[in-house]
Amino acid sequence: MHDGFPERETIERFYAGRSAVRSGVPYMNHVVEGLRVLDWIDASRDAKRAFCLHPLVQADDDLRQRCTPGDPFPIDSLTLSSRVLALAMEYRSVANGYLSAHGPRTPDQIRLSPLPEVNAMLVADKVQNYKDFLAHHEAHPRAADLDAYFRAWLERLGVTLETFEAYRSRLS
């Protein structure tokens, strides 16, 4: 379905069998399940390609590394449109504008993108991450804060808890 995306091939090589320490879930699972959510909400092909790319550029250290000569996954080696890169960078900007470490916010305090495709990527990201949080991290020391964080994002993105549960069920 998304096998022809150069960004998917790159992220598969980047993750190369790596898994999360706490849950043991392969990192690639985030991308695969996020792409499923993007399919369900009829996101564009460019949004799906940018979603594949987002883990490579989301954190400041990752972005710095991708723009460093000699990096094995440099941005300029990918065959992608400037639009896909723009979507990934806008996603980075909006997603990093409210991280769980920033403390609680009300949904109306969360900035969304003026680009619907980026907001679709955020839906996929938050649905998938919240699903994994509920499955693997409910005993986390910051569980209450993280739960409120995900709920605020979902509300801001217009995803009801009923809709989230439907997506969660389909992903499980």
Superfamily of domain 6-171: Hypothetical protein af1432 (1.10.3210.10)
pLDDT at 5: 84
User: 């409910």: which residue's tokens?
Assistant: 138
Average pLDDT over residues 98-106: 87
Work out the percent of the chain whose per-residue pLDDT is above 70. 94
Average pLDDT over residues 88-111: 93
Distance of CA 27 to the CA centre of its chain: 11
Question: Binning pLDDT at 50, 70 and 90, where does residue 68 land?
Answer: confident
Q: How many CB atoms lie within 10 A of CB 43?
A: 22
Express each pLDDT in 122-147 by its tens digit.
999 999 999 999 998 677 677 888 99
| 24 has pLDDT over 90 | no
- The domains of the chain are located at 6-171
Helix (H) or strand (E) holding 9: helix 6-15
Instruction: Report the chain's terminal Cα–Cα distance, integer Å.
Output: 19
Output the pTM of the full model.
Answer: 0.92
71-104: burial string, b at 16+ Cβ within 10 Å, e else: eeeebeebebeeebbebbbbbbebbeebebeeee
Ramachandran category for residue 60: left, alpha or beta (phi over 0 → left; psi -120 to 50 → alpha): alpha
pLDDT at 36: 97
Distance CA 138, CA 103 (A): 18
pLDDT at 3: 60
Q: Cβ distance 112 to 157 under 8 Å?
A: yes
